[in-house]
Amino acid sequence: MKKTIFIIIVFINLSVFGQEIRTQKSEIVKDNTIYTSVIREDTGKPLSGVTVRVRGTGETARTNFNGEFTVHAKSGDVLIISKDGKRINTITLNNSNFYKIDDKSKIEQKKSNYKSKISKKIRVPSANKLLDSARLYQKTNPDKCINFVEKALKKLGSRGNKNEISQAYTILGDTYFHIKQYDLAVTNYEISLNFKNENFIKFKLAKAYTLNNNFTESTEMYNELLKEKISTNQKIVVYEGLGDNASKKLDKLDKAIEHYNKGLEIAKRNKITPKISELNSKIGETYSQKGENQQAEDYFENTLELSEADDVKSRARSKNSIANYYKEQKKYDKEIELRKETLEELESVSDDEIVFDDVESEVTSQKLNLDIGNAYFNKGDLIEAIPYLEKSIEKANLVDDFETQKDALQRLSELYRSAGKSEKALEKYQEYAQLVDVIYKQKEGEIQDAIALGKELTNKQNRINSLEKDRELSESRYSLFSSQKQLTQENYRRQRLIIYSLLGGLLLLLFSVFWMYKSNKQKRLANNLLALKSLRSQMNPHFIFNALNSVNNYISQNDERAANRYLTEFSTLMRSVLDNSEQDFIPLEKEIELLELYMKLEHSRFTDKFDYKLIVDKKLQISEFQIPPMLLQPYVENAVWHGLRYKKEKGKLEVKISQKDYETVEISIIDDGIGRKKSKELKTDNQIKQQSKGMNNIKKRIAILNEMYTDKVDVFIDDLHSDNSGTKVVLTLKKD
């Protein structure tokens, strides 16, 4: 039965209080509205722990135990309502005081009106019913599913039915598998297998091992299954799994093809068409990895012929995979033909008829339009590319597919720039930049939700592990009691059993402590990686907007050639920055190229203010050193904007890169500007209040990298002269 919840919105205008409200990022919010809200069930019961996020601003709030929350928004904004990491619904604020929302994340069990004639005592559900309830919520509400499993395990106790205990841990494994927590899925499948040695659990465990990158364990499990009596379909799954594991390593690609062919022979012999098509595609992909393109194309052609008998979803996935291959081979005509066929088939059916298993395998019309536009662009047919890119943006906007919309806008900007349409290129690039900011804020909210959900799931799993330990301890005590009652004369054996039990408990405790330490270490590393990714994704808006103003200035002066030249160089720099934004480190050679291009752009804007010089030690092997991307640019930007720009006479900017010793590079950024002290005096009150986001970003990145890679980078900043004029930044970089 679908549950309905209600949200009551109370509007409070800021002008009533006569004061300004600050957001979490210390920005002043003016002419805004505070929405104080209450979320309740249709029974009137308040709902706590519900997450509310304002789309576009990234502001997030959670309801308290009274179901209350407060956010900053304005009429027309969209609130995204989610619970336990799953979106319930969205609402658009339109100055109403009452909203009704269908909560599709839960399916309530129908309550029984049965009343016992013998007794009016409350009946506690059996373990079996609790497990049935857990299965019901397995995909719709993982948190509730885990709660039911925990209750079932408590109900089963230390002497519970091993079959039911195995079922409980299998359900847990399936739940964690569904939410892609593969390490926890592996743990629970292993426990389940200890209670009941069933082949279907082994299949689940082998798949979880693969997705958790435990390829050796997965291969061992599949080989063990080959020794068992399994069905024809299961044999195909085993050989496919063995092929998948082998395909992850370049030196085992021949072995992967061998396994796939064994599965293909069984599928052909039993006329299992979907598997024949899928395995042909995988063999083709493996040959492509080996660089044997003719064999790859032969198998892809077979896949296309066989996929005609498949359903639309399987056919779309196969054609998209083959189109990706043609893209890599730069056979754009074949790629376009396949993608157009796929697009036509998808648009001929309703969205409800096609449901993909996961995001990675999803083929959508907006992505297909983007890929077709990219293919035409790569082919050099710019006119044909435009309508597909525009269609991709339109469709992506309808379903809030920001990533696809971002890529389409970027490509369209590049297309207009190549066509010499600077104004349209600039317009699309500005839309792209705004969307990047929206995506960043959205990802920030999703990361916070994921961290909160991860903590909750970890706590629940720890409690379940405690139940398993209690059960094991209770079983030991029961065995001890039985032996005392039946064999009193074997006192020595009983004492030895107690000692072994205590030692086992101690070892188990030590193992638990080690596991918790390792888990916390992995979480800390994961948090650092997330933080680095977040910091890397931030670009310096100060430089971007000033650069765009320079383009605008050239356009206003009718200097189209200078505007085109500047925009081309600026786009090259931004594209390189975005290409490197996903990496912790890039070669020092690339960073030098980016820095030289950046200094060239700044010098073109302030030709009369400074000259620059980049000196790289000829003995330095720059290809052997790695550096965090865009690490040097903020220091150069500070030198230009806060030192040289205010100098009356023409200044000098010098960047020296030299090898200090075998494993250390020293990078010096020296300017003879007005100096840090005088620059601070020239700042306005508003500038003093605001901190340099670029410098704060660099400090955080260096701190995280030094924690992860043991003092990888060191920075020293000092005045150049004794009269506080000029600035010298010395950065030392160690080799890995």
Q: What are phi and psi of 586, to 5 degrees?
A: -130, 160
- Residues 340-390 have pLDDT tens digits of 888 888 877 755 444 444 444 578 888 888 898 888 888 888 888 888 888
User: How would DSSP label each residue in 228-258?
Assistant: S---HHHHHHHHHHHHHHHTTSGGGHHHHHH
Residue that terminates a domain, selected from 107, 126, 147:
107
**Domain-located, residue 609:** yes
Range of the domain at 103: 2-107
Cβ partners under 8 Å of residue 427, min gap 6 = none
Read off the tokens for 66. Answer: 């009274």
Q: Average the pLDDT over each of 97-111, 123-137, 340-354, 582-596 and give the range with the smallest value.
A: 97-111
At 653 the pLDDT is 92
Average pLDDT along the chain: 76
Strands lying side by side in the sheet with 610-616: 610-616, 651-661, 664-671, 727-734, 713-719
340 within some domain: no
The answer as to whether 630 is a domain residue is yes
Domain count, the chain: 2
Phi, psi angles (nearest 5°) of residue 7 = -125, 125
- Interhelix angle 422-486/402-418, rounded to 10 degrees, is 150
The answer to whether residue 279 scores a pLDDT higher than 70 is yes
Residue 333 lies in a domain: no
Residues in contact with 470: Cβ distance below 8 Å, sequence separation at least 6, in sequence order: 158
Each residue's pLDDT tens digit, 602-637: 888 788 889 999 999 888 888 788 888 878 888 888
pLDDT band for position 8 (cuts 50, 70, 90): very low
Of residues 527 and 262, the one with the higher pLDDT is 262
Of 616, 613, 609, 545, whose CA–CA distance to 574 is shortest?
Answer: 545
In this prediction, residues 50-61 reach a mean pLDDT of 77
Q: What is the pLDDT of residue 561?
A: 80
**What pLDDT sits at residue 22?**
28
Q: How many CB atoms lie within 10 A of CB 296?
A: 21
Q: What is the CATH number of the domain that holds 62?
A: 2.60.40
Q: Does residue 482 lie within any of the structural domains? A: no
- State the average pLDDT over residues 138-166: 81
Instruction: Please give the residue that has the higher pLDDT: either 533 or 296.
Output: 296
650-708 residue pLDDT tens: 999 999 999 888 888 999 999 998 888 888 887 765 555 544 566 777 777 778 877 77
Q: Residue 614: inside a domain, yes or no?
A: yes
Q: Using one digit for the tens of pLDDT, what is the confidence trace for 505-554? A: 888 888 888 888 776 666 566 555 555 555 445 545 555 676 677 677 77
Q: What is the CATH number for 601?
A: 3.30.565.10
From 50, 74, 107, give the residue that closes a domain.
107
Q: Is residue 38 part of a domain?
A: yes
- Cα separation, 286 vs 314, whole angstroms: 19
Mean pLDDT lowest for which of 32-41, 291-300, 586-595, 650-659?
A: 32-41
> What confidence score (pLDDT) does residue 28 get?
29
Residue 580, token pair as written in the block: 């490197």
* Whether 727 contacts 715, CB under 8 Å: no
Place of tokens 């796939």: 260
What is the model's pLDDT at position 237?
Answer: 92
218 pLDDT higher than 80: yes
Q: Name the maximum alpha-carbon separation found in the chain.
A: 107
- The amino acid occupying position 27 is E
DSSP alpha helix (H) spans, 580-627: 588-605
Lowest-confidence pick of 98-112, 142-156, 225-239, 635-649 = 98-112
Whether the pLDDT of residue 31 is over 60: the answer is no
pTM for the full model? Answer: 0.44
Q: Which of 107, 126, 159 is the last residue of a domain?
A: 107
The more confidently predicted of residues 110 and 440 is 440
Q: Considering the domain boundaries, does residue 560 fall inside one?
A: no
Q: Please choose, from the candidates 359, 285, 295, the residue with its C-alpha nearest in 3D space to the C-alpha of residue 322.
A: 285
